[in-house]
Amino acid sequence: MPAATGLVPDTVSPARLQQANALMGLTRSAIGIGGPIVSGLIVAGFGAGWVFAVDSVSYVVSAGYLASLRIPATRPKEARESFARELAGGWHELRSRTWVWASIVYFSIWNLAIAPFFVLGPLVFERELGGASSWGLNGTGAAIGGVVGGAIALRFRPRRPLAAAYALLAVSALQPALLTFPAPVWVLAAAAALAVNNLVIGNTLWLTVLQERIPRDAISRVSAYDWMGSLVFMPVGYAVAGPLAGAIGIDTTLWITAAILLGSNVAIMAVPSIRRVERL
């Protein structure tokens, strides 16, 4: 993913960056809807082994498309630095921009908080909402929301992209909050659709801002720090969800999750440099 983030500006013009990022998110979401359907048909008609055979071929086709790309080198080979110096250079680009490192701190807290939803959500659905079929409907709602979000992101260009992105992500707190009642399955599916819709739009705006403002030869390194920082605490969220729910209850754990998600959004939007980032 960091490599892909750095590759996009080499393949499209600066004016098309957001559309390119939106299209990537749109296609991923569309596959999220169609992939399971096609897989189910193949399993039913030919057996599970053929699904993996088709999946293997898809990677070969993808590699062929990547190999066919012709992109300009950002620096001549003789100008390349050592790995350690490049790592330090990427860290300097990150540290020198408050809006970058503050966003990564926010992402790390957000991912830590959302993890318990994916641990406890299936349990609540199994006990109170009809089990796997209902959880599947929730996932379908999320995938549809991603497709709609990708389509919206093609044209949505707010004046302050980061402030808009983080305001949209605040609705993610609805999912764990609604699960405490629990709300009807269709309401939860709608909340999942809205959350992923906004997540796709927010990610598109974030990637576009990053690609527009970070020097071309440092984008992938900054993106690597972004991914590492964003995901570093997510395994902790998965690990503590069960024991925490056992100690204080599932509903209380989900309310804490919702509060952290909402609180982190309020905190990041209070950072002045986030609000100062405007559309180029």
pLDDT in tens, 268-279: 999 999 999 999
Residue 75 has pLDDT above 60, yes or no: no
Check: CB of residue 162 under 8 Å from CB of residue 100. Answer: no
Q: What is the mean pLDDT of residues 15-42?
A: 88
Lowest mean pLDDT among 43-57, 221-235, 250-264: 43-57
pLDDT in tens, 109-167: 999 999 999 999 999 999 999 998 899 889 889 989 999 999 999 999 999 999 999 99
Task: Tell me the DSSP string of the chain.
Answer: -HHHHHHHHHHS-GGGHHHHHHHHHHHHHHHHHHHHHHHHHHHHHH-HHHHHHHHHHHHHHHHHHHHT-----SS-GGGPPPHHHHHHHHHHHHHT-HHHHHHHHHHHHHHHHHHHHHHHHHHHHHHHS-THHHHHHHHHHHHHHHHHHHHHHTT---SSHHHHHHHHHGGGGHHHHHHTTTPPHHHHHHHHHHHHHHHHHHHHHHHHHHHHHS-GGGHHHHHHHHHHHHHTTHHHHHHHHHHHHHHH-HHHHHHHHHHHHHHHHHHHHT-HHHHH----
pLDDT of residue 72: 72
pLDDT band at 73 (very low <50, low <70, confident <90, very high): low
pLDDT band at 253 (very low <50, low <70, confident <90, very high): very high
Check: CB of residue 74 under 8 Å from CB of residue 198. Answer: no
Residue 78 has pLDDT above 60, yes or no: no
